[in-house]
Structure 1
Amino acid sequence: MRFAVGFLVLPVTLYVIYVIAPYAQAFSIALTNWRGVNASPRFVGLENFRRLLEDTVFWKAVGHNLLLLVLLPVLTLVIALFFAFLLNAGGRGGAGGVWGSRFYRVVFFFPQVLAIAVIAVLFQQVFRPDRSGMLNAPLIAMGFEPIGFLSDTDIALWSILGVLVWQAVGFYVVLFSAGIASIPRELFEAAAIDGAGGPPMFFRITLPLLWDTIQVGWVYLGIIALDVFAIVWVMTPEQGGPDYSTTVMAAEIYRNAFEYSKFGYASAMGVVLFFFTIGFAALALRLSRRERIEF
């Protein structure tokens, strides 16, 4: 017992100092009107949270986060499962991967080695509304009007979603590939002998045996969807524009804290984001709980 406690003292102490203590401080700051390091905070109770109820920009940001929270995990996991199954169980009668699957895994994983800021700058160029834009150049050459992927309020957030899915899919392709590779080949071979095709193999063998991995991926992607600060701040005009059409909660926290010096108000937003994240993780784990299958 003493041996275990001796190993735990240092990491637990560091966790309390650098994780728990800042959270507690943020909760206390949310109850003040603190405006910066040199200003003395004044206790205002729940006033900041009352203001949040009337803040239309903040609730627009909440709506964007919720949209991403629903679509990002679904699209990413479905696409990643599809490609992982093809790469690992798509050849030799469903008992093995397709030719060149290792190369494809590297290609899919490549976006993961790029910093999110690099990806944002890269797709700024891809979405440019002129002949320099990778997507608009062919349209202009054919005589069509260019599409304002980041300047049109109706499609800007969908463009952000597309980039997020593109960036995340590769990691889950590799993750699910590792999970599928650990499934005994005999299961796929037996299913193939019984005449099962690709869809039955996927839904009756692959999906149930990967459920724990999918559950973890769902929670992780949901947490990403509740953040997405960096890509929105770097990639979009006016850092969340145009007209707040792509802003998210994390962007509004940063804006209020470091542009408007409303640290108390920004901390109140952070508290709301904290409870959103914890609530989502608990709900997702609860709803996706099922009996574990061992093999």
Structure 2
Amino acid sequence: MQHGKYRFIVGFLVIPMTLYTLFVIWPFIQSIFYSFTNWTGLSPDFEMVGFDNYSRMFEDDIFWRSLQHSMLFALLLPLVTLSLALFFAFMINVGGRRRKGGPVVSGVRGSGFYKIVYFFPQVLSIAIVALLFQFAYNPQSGALNSTFKAIGLDDLQPVWLGDPDLALWCVMAVLVWSTVGFFVVLFSAGMASIPTELYEAALLDGASRITTFFRVTLPLLWDTVQSGWVYIGVLALGAESFAVVQIMTIGPGGPDYSTTVMVLYVYQKAFRDGQAAYATTIGVALLVVTLAFAAIVMKLGRRERLEF
């Protein structure tokens, strides 16, 4: 009976594991192999060059700048996005004042409308979001500078994406705007599953809303927050940041490589410069950084699981 059970489980796993190995694991292995070659990506011919690509990468100033920008995204984007999402979700579900005849615990007025507003960016693809904000950041006719001009701040006309000191922060603002709504809905679902008796008991004992958040809500949502941190960090290191930087910024990559991130640099080396082997080398570095980031977050965020 036990033998038949394991055969049944293996029978279900063999096809998905085969597909995963073929389309995920094998490309990683190929990339690692090509990082030791001089392959251009345009020809089947290549030769082994050992660690030359890695030596070149460590001496590449643009690589180090792209790594710095990617790490900044991975650290700050989750911090800002998750903090805003937790605040908005808490106000929507728990942060409202008690109304006469109403429940002790409730969200602010119009909480259902706010959920729709926060989630709206998720309806749009990241490419459309990047195009919309590219127009908004236009220094001549964009919405931001036009607003400054309309309220009498004619002297305050930043170049935005054309300014090396501002471009990266403009991109990060777009990423925060486009992702925070998803986590508002996610955290709202988590808060809705917390028994209201816990909130009512805390409030009746004299706890403030802030104390309730840190002593009740956050501990019970910690597993969700930790998973969200890893998820959004991987997005920041990968496709999400690539799409916004590629579409919005000059170059792309911004003035003086001010918005170049690792995944964009991989794309440029592979498809613009015909240096596929060197691109896979940077890709391997990106893989190591992503795995290290996920491992560190999971390690530092580990805490005793709370149940209710």
| TM norm structure 2 | 0.93
1:20 corresponds in structure 2 to 25
Shift, 1:203, TM fit:
0.5
- Show the counterpart of 2:207: 196
- 2:123 is the alignment partner of 1:113: yes
Q: 1:273: which partner in 2?
A: 286
2:302 aligns with: 289
Scaled by the length of structure 1, what TM-score is found? 0.97
Q: Which amino acid aligns with 1:87?
A: I
- 2:41·2:277 contact (CA, 8 Å) conserved in 1? no
Amino acid at match of 1:294: E
Structure 2 match to 1:246: 259
Which stretch has the larger CA shift, 139-148 or 253-262? 139-148
Cα displacement (A) at 1:92 = 4.6
State whether residues 42 and 274 of structure 2, in contact with CA within 8 Å, keep that contact through their aligned partners in structure 1: no
Structure 1 counterpart of 2:242: 229
In the TM superposition, 1:1-295 aligns within 5 A as 1-93=6-98, 95-130=105-140, 132-141=141-150, 142=152, 143-227=154-238, 228-295=241-308
CA distance in 2, matches of 1:57, 1:243: 10
Structure 2: unaligned runs, 5 residues or longer = 1-5, 99-103
Counterpart CA distance in 1 for 2:28 and 2:106 is: 48
Whole-Å separation in 2 of the counterparts to 1:36 and 1:206: 51
Large movers: runs of 4+ above 6 Å: none
Cα distance in structure 2, aligned partners of 1:243 and 1:119: 24
Q: Which runs of 5+ in 1 are unaligned?
A: none
In structure 2, what residue type is equivalent to 1:163?
Answer: V
CA-CA distance at 1:90 after TM superposition: 1.4
Structure 1 residue identity aligned to 2:165: D
What is the rounded CA distance, in whole Å, between the counterparts of 1:60 and 1:92 in structure 2?
A: 48
Q: CA deviation at 1:138?
A: 2.1
- Residue 91 of structure 2 aligns to which amino acid in structure 1? L
Please say if residues 198 and 216 of structure 2, whose CA atoms lie closer than 8 Å, have aligned partners that are also in contact. yes
Q: Which piece of structure 1 moves more, 205-214 or 84-93?
A: 84-93
Q: Quick one: distance in 1 between partners of 2:73 and 2:11?
A: 43
Structure 2: how far apart are the matches of 1:53 and 1:192? 56
Larger displacement relative to structure 2 (101-110 or 54-63): 101-110
**Cα RMSD between the aligned structures?**
1.0
The count of aligned residue pairs is 294
Deviations 1:136-193 (A, max 9, x none): 0022332224111100000100001111111111001000000000000001111111
- Give me the identity figure in percent: 52
